[in-house]
Amino acid sequence: MPSDKSKLLVPLSAFLVLTAAGASVYLISLFADGGNFLWWCGGLLLSAGLLFCALLFFFSRFHERRFEEARRAGDEALRRAREVADLHAQTIESLAIAIDAKDQTSQGHVRRTRVYAAELGKLLGVSPAELEALKAGALLHDIGKLAVPDYILNKPGRLTAAEFEKMKVHAQVGGSIIRRVNFPYPVEEIVRFHHERWDGAGYPAGLKGEQIPLVARIISVVDFYDSTRCDRPYRAGMSREESLALLRRMAGKAFDPLAVRVFVEHIDRFDSLLSPQDIGEQVQPAKETAAGETLQNRDAAADERTADNSSGFRSIADAQREVFALHEFAQAVGASLNLQDTAALVAARLRAIVPFDTCVIFAVEERTGRAAPVQAAGENAEFFARRSVPVGDGITGWVIANARPMCAAHPELDMRGVPDEIASGVRGVLSAPLVREDGAFGAITLYSKTDAAYTADQLRLLESVCLHASSALGNALTHERTKESALTDTVTELPNARALRLLLDQRVAECQRTGRGPLALLSVDLDDFRLVNEELGHGVGDRLLASVATVIRGQLRQMDMLSRYAGDEFVAVLPSATDVEAAAVAERVRAAVESHKFRVKTGRAVQVTISVGVGCYPEAGETADDLLLAATQNMQRNKHARKISHGSSPSVVSIDAYR
């Protein structure tokens, strides 16, 4: 607001202007009446001076007022900009907290990471724009985890290869999200590249060393440190010394050595900048107490008086947690028809309801009648994932056969075929059936290494979980088997032509996208197979096809896929095989099949000959149709040449002559 003096300036300026004007008129009139010329000139100059001063003062004050108004407008705009910036920062922090809540991370993690990143960036000499990027990137670097299923984020133990591929997507998804925000500083580089490794083994781009942006290297160090310092539902946190020691060991492999060294040297100062609440969320060193017997006795008396009251409250709280956990479980399962995803989600969610060291989810295979694991989580998961049990055998088999749960049985009853070093550590077993309308189709079995036995309450909770999980797992299992039957040949149990096309299209697309090859196809056809069907019957012909498929499969690598393409023709897909290697495989397959005696009836065996053709990417073509056509045509040429050269002779002919 203007002062009282400033309010008088405009009227005073006007008065001076009028006075000067009046004086000028009076002097002109005197001169006209014959007055003294000098006096007239002096008065005129005085009037002009007064007029000039008045106008100068008036205009200066006018511009001063305009400047004051502009300054106030600028201050108001700056205040609003700061409010908007604070609002944006609060929004970003809220979003970051929501992202970390999905990963079951505390709110203090984003605040600590932001402090660590900014301070480390200053010491490493980042630019002002990069410093702002570090502050925002520390909050948003994991925004891509919104695209990752919860059961993968919070899975205890090692991720499977498929799960890890889904986890790696979050870096690219996060980078794409941040790109749309159009930050004026390099936040996208942090989000997209903070999982790259110094040795080049990271993702998504496989950058190495200083190819990785400095801001991303800083975030990877501070995020790893703070993550390891805090407890998670699926693992315990580390002390400061343990985490720093791990950082030092990984410097030069996963992390920038310079960033690690500077961070370790200044960690005390960094922690001094954090609030006590944020520091308290990190794992603290155990404090030694020297409480005397007097203090212990005094506390014991107080504990005894409050035990009865607190136990009641604990029971109510435990019941509420159980209801909430079961509600969350029921809401989470059933969202996917993928059997592996559904089973992994069930195992991950179950840990928060019933404790276990190992969880195995079994489903009965229709073909073999055995209970095979569809998911194993926890300790020794790799072994239990390969172990199937006969229905009716052991605790798990009995639970499935009788559709009834079992608790407090001796663990040895379910340890048949389990190595002693694993079986000796199991102290408790809890198993409940997965049931649908036609009976039990599987079971969930939990193994514990603690001496405390599973209780009736825990059995009740596992039964509740199985009740909810049965529908989801049953639907996923039905979907999986329907999909398998649509892609599997019933005679040979090999992938059928549809499965071949799906895989071959995928392999060719990978070669085209990555520029990496080669890729080879083998077309294998049985010579004169119709004679077998005509002379011995189609039943014998089907068994012969299955036996031939077994022999061919035995000559291929584990990564190769053999399919029954049509009738008596098989097609094998050989990833990363050159034409020379494919020709060698073809010769090996031919020799194995033509030297084998296939038993078709009691006391009778037959030998068969085959024709083989090869098609290689990209020489024979760059599409699945081109490769299939080339392999089939080469197989037909091979068949025709064999008939001309050898008649019905089953001798092995070099594939090179017919390619």
When mean pLDDT is compared across 190-204, 256-270, 305-319, 620-634, the lowest value belongs to 305-319
DSSP structural state of residue 110: H
- Look at residue 169 in the predicted model and tell me its pLDDT: 83
Tell me, what's the pLDDT at 294?
A: 39
**DSSP letter, residue 609:** -
Percent of the chain with pLDDT over 90: 24
SS3 188: helix
Give the range among 113-122, 301-310, 332-341 with minimum mean pLDDT.
301-310
Rounded distance between C-alpha atoms, residue 587 and residue 612, angstroms: 9
pLDDT band for position 367 (50/70/90)?
confident
Written as one string, the DSSP assignment of 347-362 is HHHHTTTS--SEEEEE
In this prediction, residue 313 has a pLDDT band, given cuts at 50, 70 and 90, of: very low
Question: By three-state DSSP, how is residue 131 classified?
Answer: helix
Measured distance CA(201)–CA(168) in Å, rounded: 13
Residue 376 has pLDDT above 90, yes or no: yes
**Among 182-186, 257-261, 446-450, 555-559, whose mean pLDDT is lowest?**
182-186
429-452 per-position pLDDT tens digit: 999 999 988 889 999 999 999 877
> Does residue 363 or residue 87 have the better pLDDT?
363
β 439-448/604-606 pair status? unpaired
Q: What is the mean pLDDT of the chain?
A: 78
CATH fold label, 497-658: Alpha-Beta Plaits (3.30.70)
Q: Assess whether the region 339-487 and the region 497-658 belong to the same CATH fold.
A: no
22 versus 520: which is more confidently predicted?
520
Q: What is the residue extent of each domain of the chain?
A: 4-80, 103-280, 339-487, 497-658
Tell me which CATH code domain 339-487 carries: 3.30.450.40
What is the predicted pLDDT for the residue at 551?
Answer: 92
Neighbour-count burial of 392, counting CB atoms closer than 10 A to its CB (0-12 exposed, 13-18 middle, 19+ buried): middle
Select the more confidently predicted residue: 401 or 163: 401
Higher pLDDT, 51 or 584: 584
User: Is the link from the previous residue into 518 a cis peptide, with omega within 30 of 0?
Assistant: yes
Helix (H), strand (E) at residue 428 = strand 428-436
Of 79 and 54, more confident: 79
Q: Using pLDDT thresholds of 50, 70 and 90, give the confidence band for residue 151.
A: low
> pTM score, two decimals?
0.40
Q: State yes or no: pLDDT of 314 exceeds 50.
A: no
Distance CA 163, CA 115 (A): 32
Q: Which CATH architecture has domain 103-280?
A: Orthogonal Bundle (1.10)
